Structure 1
Amino acid sequence: MSADIADGRTRLLLAEDHPMVVVALTSAFELVDDIEVVATSGSIAETLGAAERVRPDLILLDRRLPDGNGIDAIERLLQVSPKVRILVFTGDADRSMRDQVIEAGGAGLVLKTGLFDDLVDIIRQVAAGEDYFDPTM
């Protein structure tokens, strides 16, 4: 299991460039006992720095960030934090996007259109070492 063995909590880095989404998700995760948001970032550059600094268990990575495509950043993120699991978070996806995430070394792809409780379950699944790709793809 990737999650922090010491306290059983998954250390989450939230990479999202919309401040309202960041505040809403961070607040919602405060109500989840086993997931802790240890850092947030709004760009690929910030995410790379945060991943190296805080060594999260999992990165919830927005696909579209101001300085590039999150999928294109997966390989670089794995270089700075080799054990991190990366779950791409997007508003739209298709089979080719899923294939790009897999090829880059990502652990999953989840749609933003889902429910928060489902996202929590998916994060737990991915943190435990399983991959997750939205079944609609």
Structure 2
Amino acid sequence: MDESKIKILIADDHSMIREGLKQLIELEDDIEVVAQANDGLEALDKLVEYNPDVVLLDINMPNLNGLDVLKEIKKRKIPANVLVLTIHNEVEYLYKAVEIGVQGYVLKDSESDVLISAIRSINKGETYIQPNMASLLFKRMNSKDAHKRSNINNEITKREIEVLKLITEGLLNKEIAYRLDISEKTVKNHVSNIFKKINVSDRTQAAVYAIKNNIVDIF
């Protein structure tokens, strides 16, 4: 196992899909597949055994489906970034995955460069949602919450709202620091405070909160 490479676990109940993905992914010099799983329970076991950086997670799997696996990963605080790779282009599946805290969502009929780009993005801590699915997600959220106005916690400062907006745009702490002309340590403190105030545990959930509460339209 090369520690300099992005370590991948593929969880899918179709062996041909797993092997095809493995061959595709390992054409890249910086990525390797360290394990495969054919159902949700095996995926959880191999997450602990192999400690991958990124999990490619199908939704339709026996024993434990992908969304339930995602819930367990969050519940157990397993340090792996999750990329849902699925045939489901219905926005409800994406909406549920984002609410749970997925880092990425890509359809199986996407071009290979989309998948590779998504893997690299979420390995860096960014959120990657396939663009056409992202637009559907935002419409779904705006429609669901159209009757609401922003109910931003009064304790959130203007600077924290600026940071939260940039999180929603997918920026990393270093990039936020550059954009706002503040130190990376200060950004890290703001992010920690934001998470506590809006009661979320990761950047994806924070982005969902910002969209639901119209924070992305404030400035």
TM-score normalised over the length of structure 1? 0.88
Q: Please, which of 94, 102, 108 is the counterpart of residue 106 of structure 1? A: 102
Q: Please, which of 132, 148, 163 is the counterpart of residue 136 of structure 1? A: 132
Kept in 1: contact 2:39–2:65 (CA 8 A): no
Query: Which portions of structure 1, spanning 4 or more consecutive aligned residues, are displaced by more than 3 angstroms?
Result: 78-81
Unaligned runs of 5+ in 2: 134-219
Structural mapping, 1:77-96, within 5 Å: 77-80=73-76, 82-96=78-92
Equivalent residue number for residue 69 of structure 2: 73
More helix by share: 2
Using the alignment, how far apart are the partners of 1:13 and 1:55 within structure 2? 9
Partner SS, residue 40 of structure 1: strand
Give the direction of change, closer, same or farther, for the CA distance of 1:10–1:81 in structure 2 (3 Å limit): farther
Using the alignment, how far apart are the partners of 2:127 and 2:67 within structure 1? 15
**1:96 positional shift:** 2.0
Kept in 1: contact 2:41–2:64 (CA 8 A): no
Q: Percent identity?
A: 34
One-letter identity of the residue aligned with 2:92: S
**1:22 positional shift:** 1.1
Which whole-Å deviations, capped at 9, do the CAs of 1:77-125 have from their partners, x for residues lacking one?
Answer: 2344522101111112222222211111211211001111221111101
Structure of greater Rg: 2
One-letter identity of the residue aligned with 1:10: I
Kept in 1: contact 2:59–2:86 (CA 8 A): yes
Using the alignment, how far apart are the partners of 2:67 and 2:38 within structure 1? 15
Partner SS, residue 78 of structure 2: coil
**How many residues end up aligned between the 2 structures?**
132
TM-score normalised over the length of structure 2? 0.57
